[in-house]
Amino acid sequence: MDIVRVVDELVCTRRVPGLGQASLRVVRSAQGALSVATDPVGVPVGRWVFATTGSAARLAMPDTTCMTDLTICGIIDHWDEGDGASPAAADEHRAPGKASGASKG
C-alpha cells in the first residue's frame, strides 16, 4: 500500500455514474505526485494515510463495485516526513554506512 498525505477534497460536478456516493480526496506522495483517492474512513486534511491500489481498492470500499483504483485504508498514527520519528529516518540512524545512494523524497 502507498503512503500518502491528504491535501484536499476534490470538487467534481460532472462525473461518471459508477463513483456513486464515494468521498474523493486529493492525496500527495512523498515524491510530490498528486492522485485522487476514494475515502471510506473520513480523513481530515493534512493526515498521513496508507492507500491500497488496483483491484484491492474496490474491495476496500463499502460498495465493492465502485470504480476506484486507489482507496484510503487507514490513518497512520505517527508519521512525520522530515524528522527522526519516521521509520525511514530511524532506519538511517541504525545503519548509516549502508545508505548507498538511497534518496528519500
Chain residues that interact with a copy of itself, rule: CB under 8 A: 1-3, 5, 7-8, 10-16, 18-19, 24, 26, 28, 30-37, 40-41, 46, 50, 52-60, 65, 67-78, 80-82, 87-88, 90-91, 94-95, 97-98, 100-105
Q: For residues 18 and 20, give the distance between their C-alpha atoms in angstroms, rounded to a whole number.
A: 5
Contact, 84 vs 9, CB < 8 A?
Answer: no
Give DSSP secondary structure letters for 45-80: TT-EEEEEETHHHHHTSSSTT---SEEEEEE-SS--
Smallest separation (angstroms) from a copy of itself to the CB of 92: 9
Cβ-based neighbours of 73, under 8 Å, separated by 6 or more? 1, 41, 49, 50, 51, 52, 60
The nearest distance, CB 18 to a copy of itself, in angstroms, is 6
Of 21 and 37, CB closest to a copy of itself: 37
Minimum distance from residue 50 beta carbon to a copy of itself (Å): 4
Shortest distance in whole angstroms from residue 21 CB to a copy of itself:
14
Q: Which is nearer to a copy of itself, 13 or 21 (CB)?
A: 13
In the block, residue with C-alpha cell 481530515? 44
